[in-house]
Amino acid sequence: MRIIPAIDIIEGKCVRLSKGDYATQKVYNEDPLEVAKAYMDFGLEYLHLVDLDGAKAKSIVNHKVLERLALKTNLKIDFGGGLKSDEDLKIAFDCGANQITGGSVAVKNPDIFKRWIQQYGEDKIILGADVKEDKIAVGGWLETSEQKIKPFIEAYQKEGIKYVICTDISKDGMLEGPAFELYEKLIDANSEISLIASGGISTESELPILAKMGCEGVIIGKAIYEKKITLQALSEFNTLNS
């Protein structure tokens, strides 16, 4: 199981929200590069970079942060937040994203998102499935759609999607543990997807459980900032599971 630390960006700074609520933002570091280099120093290879300004604005905003991290580190970056158009996608890849995550666009503009899958392939496009009470949330989690999680993922798998980041919004930033039952249900229903767990990770003891149930990766954010999980522990988990 891949360990994927997260950096969420508002106005160029590293922040975290609780349950996706922008009013709860807390700045943890004013320099995302400093945080990214710390991840790299402990042997972590991946980074989940979220443009929260972009998610709200519905177009890419913090692409210069992406470009800086891509140039100054060797982390493989998946980038999401506000990617709605072909131009947004081009900017993200030109600025060094290894993969992009599409959430709202997959709900509101499925034709565009399906074309991206066909054009760039399963290894470059990740489906962001953000869940609120079993329904998909969009627009930086400010809106809830009527689409249910399981058929939403299944429909996109038929279009060629392989990687799915699934976040239970009620868990995100709360440090109360991940949505084990949700992930188990999704993996049992569709063992062929590469499911990446996100939201609520609070202790290193949760990692082997997610790995055993078949999660391909896990995204960890607030637990690192709040020192609930150390980078040393993540490094050791990586070594044992590589």
Structure token pair of residue 139: 């627009």
% of the chain residues with pLDDT over 70: 98
Please state the three-class secondary structure of the chain as a single string: CEEEEEEEEECCEEEEEECCEEEEEEEEECCHHHHHHHHHHCCCCEEEEEEHHHHHHCCCCCHHHHHHHHHHCCCEEEEECCCCCHHHHHHHHHCCCCEEEECHHHHHCHHHHHHHHHHHCCCCEEEEEEEECCEEEECCCCEEEEEEHHHHHHHHHHCCCCEEEEEECCCCCCCCCCCHHHHHHHHHHCCCCEEEEECCCCCCCHHHHHHHHCCCEEEECHHHHCCCCCHHHHHHHHHHCC
Instruction: Quote the pLDDT of residue 36.
Output: 98
| Mean pLDDT confidence for 209-235 | 96
What share of the chain in percent tops pLDDT 90?
A: 79
In this predicted structure, the answer to whether residue 8 has a pLDDT above a threshold of 90 is: yes
Residue 142 has pLDDT above 70, yes or no: no
Indicate if the pLDDT at residue 242 is higher than 80: no
Average per-residue pLDDT in the chain?
Answer: 93
pLDDT of residue 20: 80
Q: Would you name the residues annotated as active-site residues?
A: 8, 130
pLDDT surpasses 60 at 180: yes
Question: Quick one: pLDDT band at residue 22, thresholds 50, 70, 90?
Answer: confident
pLDDT, tens only, 29-77: 999 999 999 999 999 999 999 999 998 898 999 999 999 999 999 999 9
Asked whether the predicted pLDDT for residue 203 surpasses 70, the reply is yes
Q: Is the pLDDT of residue 140 over 60?
A: no
Fold of 2-240: TIM Barrel (3.20.20)
pLDDT band at 5 (very low <50, low <70, confident <90, very high): very high
Residue 168 has pLDDT above 90, yes or no: no
